Amino acid sequence: MFNAWGHLVHRFRWLVLAISAICLGISIVGLFTGGQFSMGNSNDNSLQAAHASNLINAEVNAGKSAGQPSGGTFLLIFKSERLSASDPAFKSALETAVQPLGSDSRVVKVSTPYNQGIPLLPNLVSKDGHRALVNVELRDRGLTAQRYVDQVAGEVHSPTLSVVTTGNVAINKAFDTTLETDLQRAEYISLPVSLVLLLLIFGAVVAAGLPIGVGVLAILGGVAATLTLARFTDVSQYALNIVTLIGLGVAIDYSLFVVNRYREELRAGATRPDALGTTLATAGRAVTFSGITVAIGLSAMLFYRGTFLASMGAAGALVVFIAVFYGLTFLPALLAVLGPNVDRLSIFPVRMRGGVGFWQGLAAWVMRRPVLVLIPTLGFLVVLGLPFTQLRMANGDVDVLPPHVQARQGYDTLVRDFPGQDQNFYEVVVYYAQGNPMSADHVGSIYDLSRRLAGLHGVLRVEGMVDLDPSLSRADYVRMYTGPTDQLPAAVQAKLQTSTGSHLAVLTVASDLPASSDGARTLLSQIRSLGVGGEGQVLVTGQTAFDVDVIGYIIDHTPIAVAFVLGVTYLVLFLLTGSVVLPLKAIIANLLSVSASFGALVWIFQQGHLSGLLGFTPQPIDPTTPVILFSIVFGLSMDYEVLLVARIHEEYLRTGDNRRAVAEGLARSGRLITGAAAIMVAVFVAFGTAEVVIIKAIGVGLAVAVALDATIVRGLVVPSVMRLLGDWNWWAPRPLRALYRRSGLAELGMHGPSPHRPVGEAA
């Protein structure tokens, strides 16, 4: 099938190139017509925190927006080394600085320490008295507000006070800007470095340029597919970085093997059509199976529906499909056009290596002492994975931004220097699906719940409709709210508007426990254990609630996701090799690579080793990071396994000698795997220079995993295990082997029938 496809592409090469051009045009259109990315936590109602947040947005915030604007906000921190916020000169300078905002139609409200109806609002002045906080409410929210927040903030100037911008809109804008900068930097680094490595591998400019071209096409197609996906579902703001990372790596990887095999066949004397047919029947077939295994690994993220992981898994699978598509269409068509000219513009002479090379010698050395090599190697890989046992997870916060970003600096100043800004808040929703929270029974139950919340360890205060005045009793609140609410004092009506809906009331619990601490999570558990009786339901949202719910969701769904990936990968590898033993060996070896990358993740980013060198703040691991890392690492590790085993299998079918097949297969593919891995590592290290910690962690984790996989695993573990197993590597029960041969996937035709009889097969 692949051989026939190669001849077909050669015959209709110009048509195939035209189709590729049309696909490129579609990709360009997709870049300008795609959707927008989402930010923040999952809104899936299966998470209690998300369900409570959605209820608040639907009943409280929606009701508020009907009467008053509900846009985004940002904060301005004014500072003077000499003046204090209580000095008239400080006040005058601040009010002069913010005066232009009053005439900006995009600004709804400006709140300063001096215009709140009291002499000086304490929580808007820093502990040392030399900083003041200004809250600016915008007309719009989300991406619309982000587009002009810098312009609005740029209107504020003061010759005597320094100004730092932070707050929700500014922080979200900083995330987007930093991610975009990270992506550009990674591309500027990875593409030139990849070209240099390809020049070293191929020794010719034309041959080296082909994988780069396929990589660029794959990136354009992957980004367009991701943007199109964003029109129909929530896609994370991190998606473009992940998709570009995967697409560039696998596209160059696959193209390298195809171009190398084509050159090899031409130098062996094959005609152009035959060379292309054999190339696709060998390297093309391996690339197809490899793409399938990478897509299977990425499919693990599809099991986390309701989170951004599912859309990222789909986007990742799409970019892998696009890379394989161009690798089997555009690239072979271009090779058919070039023919021997693929070796044009040689930089230095490169000849096809024969005899005993480094990789063949390494394989022979390992197979003479397999046990002696295997045991310490496995021990080393296990030790590398041990730090993962100390994993601590928490959703990424502002700390994932680099310390030099102004919005991050402002946030750190806010938390450190302003009273109450370091507090953690739980929003407790008392929900009556069929009732009204303002009935006498419900008001009394909400009052009782508020007092129980106030008595919990770690709670500083409780705010809500029944916490307006400590002198009011339970009966007072019941009498007040069971009468006409439109006759209540204005301050009470304002509180009801921001803390109640038609079916719910919100109690805000303030705590001094850090949001990701064990104490905060214990307090959350205690709050959720409380009830209000009757048909009332207590739901909790907030940062700690999202942390716990997302972590729990991921832990609950991980076993089935991993089982699916392992099972389907095993099946695909059987279809590639016809063996039931090699797939098991491959899966175990890949899990060792995954374990090592997880260990590096915790050792570096959680425990803080190399934090000074890499420039980040040590912090708990975002719960999505291990899922993303597993999905990509497992797929890419299987990528090299497929490419290596496919060549070993080819030699085994030709010779029937397991030991010789391993040595020859490693000799013929080891150099390419090393080169491909070097390119992959270069791409991942380029993303490891990212300033957003999540992207940096994924880049570094992938670089570690691929480097270990392409050297220690493929160079030591694989040959030693295959030497110990001998012909049992290729064993399968007779019915399965017969099914494998009848399927036509063995593709024995290009070498003739195998001269050996596999273990377990009857004569």
pLDDT tens digits, 606-663: 999 988 888 888 889 988 889 988 888 887 777 777 777 777 877 777 777 777 888 7
pLDDT at 683 over 90: no
Q: How far is CA 376 from CA 248, 353, 371, 373, in A?
A: 34, 31, 9, 6
The whole-number pLDDT of residue 728 equals 84
The whole-number pLDDT of residue 750 equals 33
Determine the 3-state secondary structure of 460 from DSSP. Answer: strand
- The span from the CA of 626 to the CA of 604, in Å, is 14
Name the fold adopted by 357-407+552-749: Multidrug efflux transporter AcrB transmembrane fold (1.20.1640)
- The span from the CA of 388 to the CA of 386, in Å, is 5
The whole-number pLDDT of residue 368 equals 85
Instruction: Out of 104-113, 126-135, 708-717, 732-741, pick the least confident.
Output: 732-741
Determine the 3-state secondary structure of 306 from DSSP. Answer: coil
Beta bridge partners of 133: 77
- The span from the CA of 705 to the CA of 592, in Å, is 9
- Our measurement of the distance from residue 268's CA atom to the centroid of its chain's CA atoms, rounded to an integer in Å, reads 44
- Our measurement of the distance from residue 398's CA atom to the centroid of its chain's CA atoms, rounded to an integer in Å, reads 17
Q: Which of 43-52, 112-121, 165-174 has the highest mean pLDDT?
A: 165-174
- The span from the CA of 369 to the CA of 236, in Å, is 49
pLDDT at 356 over 70: no
Instruction: Out of 12-26, 56-70, 138-152, 749-763, pick the least confident.
Output: 749-763
Domain ranges of the chain: 1-33+203-352, 72-172, 357-407+552-749, 433-535
- The span from the CA of 94 to the CA of 156, in Å, is 9
Structure-token match 């070796």, residue found:
343
CATH of range 1-33+203-352; options 3.20.20.100, 3.40.50.720, 1.20.1640.10, 3.90.550.10: 1.20.1640.10
% the chain with pLDDT above 70: 92
244 within 8 A of 31, measured Cβ to Cβ = no
Q: Which amino acid is at 720?
A: S
Instruction: Out of 188-192, 232-236, 404-408, 417-421, pick the least confident.
Output: 232-236
Instruction: Out of 187-191, 426-430, 706-710, 758-762, pick the least confident.
Output: 758-762
The whole-number pLDDT of residue 152 equals 93
Could you count the other beta carbons within 10 Å of the beta carbon of residue 472?
14
- Output the average pLDDT for the chain: 84
Q: What is the pLDDT of residues 528-587, one digit of tens each?
A: 999 887 788 999 999 999 999 989 999 999 999 999 989 888 887 887 778 888 888 888
The whole-number pLDDT of residue 745 equals 57
508 within 8 A of 464, measured Cβ to Cβ = yes
What's the rounded mean pLDDT across residues 227-242? 81
Q: What is the CA radius of gyration of the chain?
A: 31
The whole-number pLDDT of residue 131 equals 93
What angle separates helix 624-655 from helix 285-298, to the nearest 10 degrees?
160
| pTM score, whole prediction | 0.81
278 within 8 A of 270, measured Cβ to Cβ = yes
- 105 phi/psi in degrees, rounded to 5: -65, -15
CATH number of 72-172: 3.30.70
243 within 8 A of 316, measured Cβ to Cβ = yes
The whole-number pLDDT of residue 748 equals 39
**Residue 352: CB partners within 8 Å, gap ≥ 6?**
264, 267
pLDDT at 67 over 50: no
- 622 phi/psi in degrees, rounded to 5: -60, 135
Q: Do domains 1-33+203-352 and 72-172 have the same CATH topology?
A: no
> Left, alpha or beta for 567 (phi > 0: left; psi -120 to 50: alpha)?
alpha
- Name the band, by pLDDT with cuts 50, 70 and 90, for residue 308: confident
- 463 phi/psi in degrees, rounded to 5: -120, 140
The whole-number pLDDT of residue 99 equals 93
Q: What is the pLDDT of residues 704-751, one digit of tens each?
A: 988 888 888 878 888 888 888 887 877 888 888 777 776 655 543 333
Could you count the other beta carbons within 10 Å of the beta carbon of residue 746?
18
Q: What is the pLDDT of residues 447-502, one digit of tens each?
A: 999 999 999 999 999 999 999 888 999 999 998 888 777 778 888 888 888 888 88
The sheet with strand 162-166 has its strands ordered as 107-111, 131-138, 73-79, 162-166
